[in-house]
Chains A and B, each alone.
Chain A
Amino acid sequence: MNHLQQSTPLVQKSTDYISREVTEAISIYKCLYPGCELRFIFRIDEATISATATVSEGRAPLHVDLLGAGYLGQVNIPGPHDASPAVTISISIPRPPLPSERRQTDTPWQPQRPLRFIFRMAPMLYEQIRYLAEMARWRRADKSHRTSSLPFGGSALFSKPRAPATGKRPAILVGMHWLEVGGAEKLGLDTIRWAREAGLRVFVVASVPELQRLKGQLPDSPDVTFLRLDRYLPHHLWPRYVEELVRAENIRLIHIHHCRPLYDALPHIRTATPWVKVIDSTHIVEYADGGYPRISGVWSNFIDMHHVISGQLEDYYRDKFLVVGKVRLGRMLDRREDAGALSGFRLQAGQKSLHISFIGRLYYQKRPIIVVETFRRLSRWAADNNVELSGSLVGEGPFLPAVQRLIQRYGLQDKVALLPADTDVPALLERSDLMLLPSNNEGLALVCYEAIGRGCIPLSTDVGSQYEVVPADLLVPLSPYDTVRETLGIVDRLWRDPAFLARQKQELTAAFSKLGRDMTAKEILMPIYEETALSAG
């Protein structure tokens, strides 16, 4: 708090909060500019929960814009000697988030304004238009984005830099997209735990300046440090910062989980600190531009190993980037939890009641509008066949209000229950006959694997690597109208045709066993972490 003792007292904001943020920012720039005099100009921005930072190398004059209402003051950190070059850093500290912001920052989803009337009249038509627009974007994607690996040359003519002796235990730098809810983030948090178990010190960074709501799930240990580069370091300075951090903290391994600025830093990292190994994990090929697997493939020559979670991604790296040998498949499964979890399927042909579930965040990717439409059609089918239908929709997100309105509009309130995201999913799956997953895109949805293990039959769109866990006869096309129609057809056939049902159960069991035999992410990554932990200090 020394730097803040002379600051103006701050109304409504705790001094602890400001102090913590100032300390975070100063430590980042001390690492980045070890030989410089640092001149910080701190502001607080009451309007936003996002920080900004600008850096000028030199003693930049203060502009009047920086000295407005939010101006907090300056902190000068002297350099190691009188002639040290100066760096001016202007930092805008965000205000602390409100309780409502901590819970959810996504505003409720609204249809595109010009098409709102279409959604009001025919929600499925709106979905179809959106689907067609996305597919058109996908067809154009390859032309506007690089889809070949960047070359990485080099010769033995010049000597390469060597790792300095720090005397510190080896460390890993884990780069995340953000610390918010998501599949990639779950794996990221797991890998942080595994790295620590392996004996590594762990430094974590995120690229997107969100509230990082999962920060609390990081292991509470002096060996785990979350660096707020997302808030206080502009992306163009990441390469130099990472180099300094590698040298200062004996970082031997970098693991990238969907972290764009770390990919961009690879040319600098691989040449300035060639002793550092780089691995990455990828999850899902995005329609628009290939997403992180494409970025990873483009940087493939700078990366030592690609960890992927599905067979589709193995194929993607091979077919798009010609890479085979350094791609390692490691499923996001926990062998201890999942071993022997398969119980019998509940659904029997001709049964008089049917419980169907949907589990997923209520974002467009999961297509909740199509889920409700499917329930509407199933409700009619159930009435025609004298079946008592009930449904559960688990999840929260920006589509929740729209889903609620549609359920009311279709009169499904008595049949379909909306459940919060913290619902006991295994228990729900254990009392569900079928599970719907009409997603727009998936890597390999583990909820399908979990459903099979709990005796619930999953029906999914034929996207991503879903073919690995769901039999071909239970996969439906992506086009919204076809998704609903085919789902209805499959439910009808499963209910009516005992031979078909028996065959699907057999194939689901086979798929479940096959996935269970594959290597898990932990089995792929742990040996690398352990080997790194044994490297020199």
Chain B
Amino acid sequence: MKKLLCLLDDVVTMLTKTSAVIVTFNRAAKLMKVLDALQCQTRRPEIILVVDNASTDETRELVVARAKEDLSIRYLRLPKNVGGAGGFHAGLKAAYDLGADYFWISDDDAYPEPDAIEKLLQAITSFQADHEWRPSFACSRVEWVDGSLCEMNTPRTVWDWPRFVRPGKAWALVDSASFVSILVPRWAVAAHGLPIADYFIWFDDAEYTRRLSRSYPGIFVPESRVIHDTPDNRGVNFGLVDEKSLWKFRYGARNEASWRRREGGLVNVISYAYGAHRQMKGGNVPGKLRREIYRAILRGMAFHPKIVRI
């Protein structure tokens, strides 16, 4: 019996079939660089699922051509653009159906270093072996193209984040991370369901990782590195709202307000609205744009998207 139990312990770490889930929209060239980076991984995912948000550039042709040569590539073309949130929802669902044990979720403009996935897998399995707790996700250090920390992909730590930090295993506990090089185990998806597709864009990753963290926080794995090729290195701050970025901030405000209403009630939303007000005031955001953000927060209070379970 003891031998059998040892065997079962081994099974826990041996079931590491991994599926990469990349959501893309009209960024064929960058997507090809991501696929190149995955090709060079020291621990290649068994499945690479490209979720195409109905791109109108040459994404389809390029991915299909590559998939004809590389059997690990699967291609899911969505009938319309359902945003990053809808893409990650559909992709994670499909990858789950394909039977992977871990899901490496990322954007179409984030290039993992050759050992990024191996380090994530190593960390999440070692953490469990060492401490018995099961991290609900593991996330990489996301760097901008110049090597500095990518502001928008900074994970949020929990209050006792250094509890298991050791020399050589500096894995801080975090409860929120972005969908840029994050590894989610199958059990966490089974327990907590899928990202909320109705969010369309922004805050889908924060809501999802916070939901996963109800079981146990995730871990930040700094030795796993990924380069996020964004046009600039800006954080998400309401002081940065302008005409061009307003549409995204509106989604973000609505989604976070909805989440705060669900998790913390009205007081939490008011506190959030006050924070947004302070940031916009500090950033001299024009009144017209501010009113759009307030309206989005109000909409979020009545927005109750459904969480889809597996």
Closest B residue to A320 using CB positions: B76
Q: Note all chain B residues with C-beta closer than 8 A to A155.
A: 11, 14-15
A322 touches B75 (CB 8 A): yes
A318 touches B64 (CB 8 A): yes
* Nearest CB of B to A367, in Å: 30
Q: Give per-residue flags for A284-326: 1 if the beta carbon is below 8 A from chain B beta carbons, else 0.
A: 0000000000000000010000000000000000110011111
Bound complex: CA A326 to CA B69 (Å): 9
Bound complex: CA A157 to CA B13 (Å): 10
A157 touches B14 (CB 8 A): yes
Q: Note all chain B residues with C-beta closer than 8 A to A152.
A: 99
Interface residues of A in 137-170 (CB under 8 A from B): 148-149, 151-157
Query: When A and B form their complex, what is the total count of cross-chain residue pairs whose Cβ atoms lie within 8 Å?
Result: 49
Interface size of B as a range: 20 to 34
Choose one: A153, A156, A301, A324; the contact of B68 (CB below 8 Å). Answer: A324
Bound complex: CA A148 to CA B76 (Å): 11
Q: Give per-residue flags for A260-273: 1 if the beta carbon is below 8 A from chain B beta carbons, else 0.
A: 00000000000000
Closest B residue to A305 using CB positions: B71
B7 touches A322 (CB 8 A): no
* Nearest CB of B to A297, in Å: 12
Q: Is B49 an interface residue (CB 8 A)?
A: yes
* Nearest CB of A to B152, in Å: 29
A325 with B69, Cβ < 8 A, contacts A155-B14, A318-B75 known:
yes
A322 with B74, Cβ < 8 A, contacts A151-B98, A152-B99, A157-B11 known:
yes
Interface residue tally for chain A (C-beta within 8 Å): 17
Q: Note all chain A residues with C-beta closer than 8 A to B30.
A: none
Choose one: B14, B70, B99; the contact of A151 (CB below 8 Å). Answer: B99
Q: Is B67 an interface residue (CB 8 A)?
A: yes
B7 touches A153 (CB 8 A): no
Q: Note all chain A residues with C-beta closer than 8 A to B68.
A: 324-325
Q: Is B273 an interface residue (CB 8 A)?
A: no
Q: Note all chain B residues with C-beta closer than 8 A to A323.
A: 74
Q: Give per-residue flags for B86-127: 1 if the beta carbon is below 8 A from chain A beta carbons, else 0.
A: 000000001001110100000000000000000000000000
Q: Note all chain A residues with C-beta closer than 8 A to B71.
A: 325-326
Q: Note all chain A residues with C-beta closer than 8 A to B77.
A: 318-319
Q: Which label, helix, strand, loop or mixed, suits the secondary structure of the B interface? A: mixed
Q: Note all chain A residues with C-beta closer than 8 A to B151.
A: none
Closest A residue to B101 using CB positions: A153
Q: Note all chain B residues with C-beta closer than 8 A to A319.
A: 77
Bound complex: CA A326 to CA B47 (Å): 13
A148 touches B15 (CB 8 A): no
Bound complex: CA A152 to CA B17 (Å): 10
Bound complex: CA A156 to CA B97 (Å): 21
Q: Note all chain A residues with C-beta closer than 8 A to B101.
A: 153
* Nearest CB of B to A44, in Å: 48
Q: Note all chain A residues with C-beta closer than 8 A to B94.
A: 148, 322
Choose one: A157, A301, A326; the contact of B98 (CB below 8 Å). Answer: A301
Q: Give per-residue flags for B30-58: 1 if the beta carbon is below 8 A from chain A beta carbons, else 0.
A: 00000000000000000001000000000
Choose one: B7, B73, B99; the contact of A301 (CB below 8 Å). Answer: B99
Q: Is B10 an interface residue (CB 8 A)?
A: yes
B97 touches A157 (CB 8 A): no
A157 touches B7 (CB 8 A): yes
Bound complex: CA A153 to CA B19 (Å): 12
Bound complex: CA A318 to CA B78 (Å): 11
A322 touches B49 (CB 8 A): yes
Bound complex: CA A301 to CA B99 (Å): 10
Q: Note all chain B residues with C-beta closer than 8 A to A157.
A: 7, 10-11, 14
Choose one: A149, A153, A318, A322; the contact of B15 (CB below 8 Å). Answer: A153
A149 with B10, Cβ < 8 A, contacts A318-B64, A322-B49, A325-B73 known:
no
A151 with B97, Cβ < 8 A, contacts A324-B64, A325-B67, A325-B68 known:
yes
B99 touches A324 (CB 8 A): no
Closest A residue to B99 using CB positions: A151
Bound complex: CA A323 to CA B72 (Å): 9
Closest A residue to B98 using CB positions: A151
A149 with B98, Cβ < 8 A, contacts A156-B14, A324-B67, A325-B68 known:
yes
Bound complex: CA A319 to CA B67 (Å): 13
* Nearest CB of B to A358, in Å: 36
Bound complex: CA A318 to CA B74 (Å): 8
Q: Note all chain A residues with C-beta closer than 8 A to B17.
A: 153-154
B75 touches A324 (CB 8 A): yes
Q: Note all chain A residues with C-beta closer than 8 A to B72.
A: 325
Bound complex: CA A157 to CA B76 (Å): 31
Bound complex: CA A149 to CA B94 (Å): 9
Bound complex: CA A156 to CA B10 (Å): 11
Q: Note all chain B residues with C-beta closer than 8 A to A151.
A: 97-99
Q: Note all chain A residues with C-beta closer than 8 A to B76.
A: 322
A324 with B10, Cβ < 8 A, contacts A151-B98, A151-B99, A153-B17 known:
no
* Nearest CB of A to B110, in Å: 21
Q: Note all chain B residues with C-beta closer than 8 A to A326.
A: 71
Closest B residue to A321 using CB positions: B74
What are 17 A-B contacts with C-beta separation under 8 Å? A149-B97, A151-B97, A151-B98, A153-B17, A153-B101, A155-B11, A157-B10, A157-B11, A301-B99, A318-B64, A319-B77, A322-B75, A324-B67, A324-B73, A324-B74, A324-B75, A325-B71
Binding site for B on A (CB under 8 A): 148-149, 151-157, 301, 318-319, 322-326
Binding site for A on B (CB under 8 A): 7, 10-11, 14-15, 17, 49, 63-64, 67-77, 94, 97-99, 101
With contacts A155-B15, A157-B7, A322-B98 known, what are 12 further pairs, Cβ within 8 A? A149-B98, A151-B98, A153-B99, A153-B101, A155-B11, A157-B10, A157-B11, A318-B77, A322-B74, A322-B94, A325-B70, A325-B73
Q: What are the 3 closest A-B residue pairs judged by CB atoms, nearest first?
A: A151-B99, A324-B67, A322-B74
